[in-house]
Amino acid sequence: MYESLEEKFFSVMLIMLFLTPVLIISIRKNIFSQFSFSSLIKVLNSAFILQLVIGITFVFASLLIKKYGGSYEYGHGNRSRDLFLGAFMAYLIIMLIYTPALIILNISKLVIGKFKDSRPKSTNTH
């Protein structure tokens, strides 16, 4: 029912691992002073690469933990192993939802850019 301290720790770490690349890149690119849709998408694309690296690291760490992290014989398991693998699965699910959303954002940016480029330019002869 209630979350233990370990579950809260892994939940906070999961959120931090996902949001830290976005925050670091947005601060480096100074997105907060001149906010625009295209700059947000550029930040999310750049952060996505770092988030993939974190996800790949999670995959390798979870494989190592599964192999060397103890067994579940007779119902005895390792709680921290369960929490880490649960955090990995949550990160994976977030990435599986985030990836198509980012693709849709990039396609919409492309369509909006094409639409703006194809509009006839007004010529003022007055």
Give the tens place of pLDDT for each residue, 93-107: 888 999 999 999 999
User: Whole domain around residue 62: which residue ranges?
Assistant: 5-112
As a whole-number percent, the residues of the chain with pLDDT over 90 amount to: 22
pLDDT bin (cut points 50, 70, 90) of residue 125 is low
Instruction: Please report whether residue 61 resides in a domain.
Output: yes
Overall domain count for the chain: 1
Residue 121 lies in a domain: no
Say if 16 falls within a structural domain.
yes
Domain assignment present for residue 126? The answer is no
| Residue 124, in any domain of the structure | no
* Token pair for 28: 């480096």
Q: Going along the chain, which residue ranges are E strands? A: none
Q: How confident is the model at residue 123 (pLDDT cuts 50, 70, 90)?
A: low
CA distance linking residue 110 with residue 91, whole number of Å: 28
What global pTM score does this model have? 0.72
* 117 is a domain residue: no
Least confident of 8-12, 76-80, 93-97, 112-116: 76-80
